[in-house]
Amino acid sequence: MKIKICGITRREDLLMGQRIGADLLGFINIERSPRNLELRKIRKLSDEAGEKAVLVLEPSDPQDVPAAVEKTGITRIQLHSVSASDLNRIKGILHDEGIMAEITVAVSPERDSFKDILELTRKSSGILLDSAIKGRTGGTGRRLRESAALKLLDEIRRRNPAVRVTLAGGLTPEFVKNRMAYVSRFDCLDFNSGIERAPGIKDHGRMIQLMDVIRNVRTDPVGNE
């Protein structure tokens, strides 16, 4: 199980993420997010993150994606609030421009139909399960209902076992500790507001606490129910 620390806005938080052994470090370029960063600043920070860097986008135009990739140099992309047709166009443009990208798409069982989600599953490298607000995925700080997340996880794995499935939405070290059997079902856990002092300001004590808990999840995936 991999760990992603998302919403990085400061170099000190980036360095702490690397120090504690986070697998992925997310940088958000979405205007509605309080953790939104300009692409120029993302480029500066992500140069230190290397292959761990993830560029989080909510494109209003498919052409925005290759432009953002070129400006940041990040080819691991997380897309929010896109349809299967949007994804097809984005992949086509990336291909035409010779950009090899790994794409994860955020979906929500609260917003998207199973049919739409499974279509996206067929066309992406990863699926991120998150809550939604006003029809847009992410940014709520609210956890999904476990029954809905597990139902969707099982269906995705039945259709395409190779797709990496990430759980996001209000995750905290305490929740992971108490729900080990649940969270260990996923390939990756995405943490943001649950390890912050304020939006975009990570709490280093909670980051360290998180990785202490994660070590137990990795060694004891059954946990407590």
List pLDDT tens digits, range 147-186. Answer: 999 999 999 999 899 999 999 999 999 999 999 999 999 9
| pLDDT for residue 137 is more than 70 | yes
Please report the pLDDT score of residue 219 as a whole number: 61
| Banded pLDDT at 134 (limits 50, 70, 90) | confident
pLDDT of residue 220: 60
Confidence check: pLDDT of 78 > 50: yes
Are residues 105 and 82 in contact, defined by beta-carbon separation less than 8 angstroms? yes
The answer to whether residue 224 scores a pLDDT higher than 50 is no
Instruction: Give the pLDDT of residue 67.
Output: 97
Type of residue at 54: V
Residue 221's pLDDT band (boundaries 50, 70, 90)? low
The model's pLDDT over 15-65, given as tens digits with 9 standing for 90+, comes to 999 999 999 999 999 999 999 999 999 999 999 999 999 999 999 999 999
For residue 166, the tally of other CB atoms under 10 A from its CB is 21
Q: What is the pLDDT of residues 21-32, one digit of tens each?
A: 999 999 999 999
Cα 134 to the center of its chain, rounded Å:
19
In the structure, what pLDDT confidence band is assigned to residue 215 with cuts at 50, 70 and 90?
A: confident
pLDDT at 133 over 90: no
Mean residue pLDDT of the chain comes to: 93
Q: How far apart are alpha carbons 186 and 132 in whole angstroms?
A: 19
Confidence of residue 127 (pLDDT cuts 50, 70, 90): very high
Please give the average per-residue pLDDT across 110-128, as a whole number: 89
Whether the per-residue pLDDT at 222 is higher than 60: the answer is: no
- 110: confidence class by pLDDT, cuts 50, 70, 90: confident
Cα–Cα distance, 118 to 206 (Å, whole number): 35
Residues 6+ apart with CB under 8 A from 216: 177, 180, 223
The identity of residue 119, as a single letter, is E
Residue 225 has a pLDDT of: 46
